[in-house]
Amino acid sequence: MTLPIPPQSSADLWILRQPPLGSCTGELDLTELDAAEQSRAGTCRREAGRLLYSSAHVGLRRVLSAYLDVDPRSLRMGREACPCCDEPHGRPVLEAPDTPLHFSLSHSNGMALIGVSTVPIGVDVEKVPTTETVRVCTPALHPDEQRELAAGPQDVVVFGQMWTRKEAYLKGLGTGLGRPLAYDYLGADPALRPYGWEVIDVPCGPQHVAAAALRGTQRARVRVHWLAMETLYKDNPAPLDHQRSLLAELAA
Amino acid sequence: MSRPQEPEPRLPPAAPPSSGPALRHAHPAERGRLLEDLVRQEIGYVLNCPPAAVDRHQTLTDLGVGSMTGLELQRRIAAVLAIEPELTFILRAPDTGTLARYLDRLLTSSKAGTEQRDIADPAAK
C-alpha cells in the first residue's frame, strides 16, 4: 500500500514499540538492510538492542518505501556533510531514488521514532532520565534553559522533554550533538526558540519523551502513527495503513 | 503533570574525585588498564549496572549509553580526570578500550600532564 506524501509544513511520525523478547509473532527479513546496517545489527550482542536496531531500520525502510512505492532494498541511504566539520556524518538522506522526502530516525530503550517530511526534519526519543542524570547534565544546557529548570519543580520529564526538543533540532540542523548544547534555547517558550524551525513535543507513553523539529516558519503539523511490529515481518506483514494507524494530530 | 518517581538504586560513586594526577604518574601500560577500568566503572554507574557487566567489545551505544547518559558520562569523566573529552567521541566510541586510549591522549597531552610526566620519567623526553 502506498502512503500519501505529507503536505507542506507537516510531517508523519511513526512510533514503534518493541515487543518483549520472545513474544514476536514473526521474523524480520534482515536482507532488507544494507551491508552497513546488517553489520551494525550483527555486532550488537545484547538481544534487546539487536532487535530494536533491526526493527527500527527495517521499519524505516518499509515506511520510506511505502511513501515512494519502491522495494525497501532499492533505497540507498547516505549522509550529508556535517555543517560543523564537513565530515560525512550530517543528516541522513535518501541518495536513491531521487525524492523530495526527508527523514529522521531515533531509538531508545525499546522505542523507535521515525519522522518523514518534505522539509528537513529531526526527531528524538529518549527514556525518561534519572534525577542523577538530570543533575549532572543540567549545567551543560543554555543559560535560559537552566534558569527555567531551576524555577520550576524538579521534574525528570520536563528535563527529558527539553532535551528531546534540543536533540531533534540539532539532528534537523545536521550537527547532532557536535554543536554545543549551550548554544540554543529549546525551553518551554516557543517564541524564544531558534528562528526558522518548528518544534513539537510528541507524547509516547510514561517511560519515554520525544520531540520533532521541522524546518520552516509556518505553523507545523504532525500526524503520529503507530508502526505495529506486525507490519515489519518477513511473511504476511500487516499492511501499513495511513488512516488505521493514526494515533494523534499535533500542531506546533 | 507529575508522575510517580521510581526508586533509583545507585551503585556507589565509581572513582574518587580527580584521580587525574595519580593516573598521569602511572606507567603507560598500567595507565591504559586503569583508564579502561575507570571507563567501565563510570559506564556501569550511568547505566546502573556492575562494571563487570560492561562488555569491552561493544560500542557505547550498543551498551545502552544514549545522548543524555553519554553527557552524564562525559561530565563525570571530566570531573574525575580534569580533562574535557568530546561528547561525540564518547557516543561514537567503538569499544571501551578505544575510549580509554582517547582519554589517555587527552590526559598526557594536557600541559600539566606533560610537565608531570617529564618530572616523573626523564626518559620520556
- The pLDDT-based confidence of A7 (bands split at 50, 70, 90) is very high
Confidence of residue A85 (pLDDT cuts 50, 70, 90): confident
pLDDT digits (tens, 9 = 90+) for B21-47: 778 888 888 899 999 999 999 999 999
d(CA A124, CA A108) in angstroms, rounded, equals 9
pLDDT value of position B2: 43
Phi, psi of B25 (to 5 degrees): -80, -15
B68, A153: Cβ pair inside 8 Å? no
**Chain B residues close to A178, C-beta within 8 Å:** 88
pLDDT at A87 over 90: no
Whether the pLDDT of residue A195 is over 90: the answer is: yes
Nearest chain A residue to B63 by CA distance is A46
Closest by CA to A119, choosing from A107, A137, A104, is A104
**Backbone φ and ψ of B22, nearest 5°:** -60, -40
Query: Has residue B10 got a pLDDT over 60?
Result: no
**How much is the pLDDT for A234?**
94
At residue A89, the pLDDT reads 85
> How do residues A136-154 score in pLDDT, each as one tens digit?
999 999 999 999 999 998 8
Q: What pTM, to 2 d.p., does this model score? A: 0.89
Q: Is some CB atom of chain A closer than 8 A to the CB atom of B62?
A: yes
| Rounded Cα–Cα distance for residues B81 and B37 (Å) | 13
**Which residues of B fall within a CB distance of 8 Å from A155?**
2
Q: A132 and chain B: CB distance < 8 Å anywhere?
A: yes
Reported ipTM:
0.92
> Which chain A residues contact residue B70 at CB under 8 A?
177
Q: Which residue would you say has higher pLDDT here, B25 or A182?
A: A182
Percent of chain A clearing pLDDT 70 (strictly above): 100
Quick: pLDDT tens for B36-94. Answer: 999 999 999 999 999 999 999 999 998 999 999 999 999 999 999 999 999 999 999 99
> What pLDDT band is residue A38 in, cutting at 50, 70 and 90?
very high
Superfamily designation of domain B32-118: ACP-like (1.10.1200.10)
Alpha-carbon gap, residue A82 to A168, rounded angstroms: 15
- A114 φ, ψ (degrees, to nearest 5): -120, 135
**Domains in chain A and their CATH numbers?**
10-236 (3.90.470.20)
Q: What's the pLDDT at B124?
A: 41
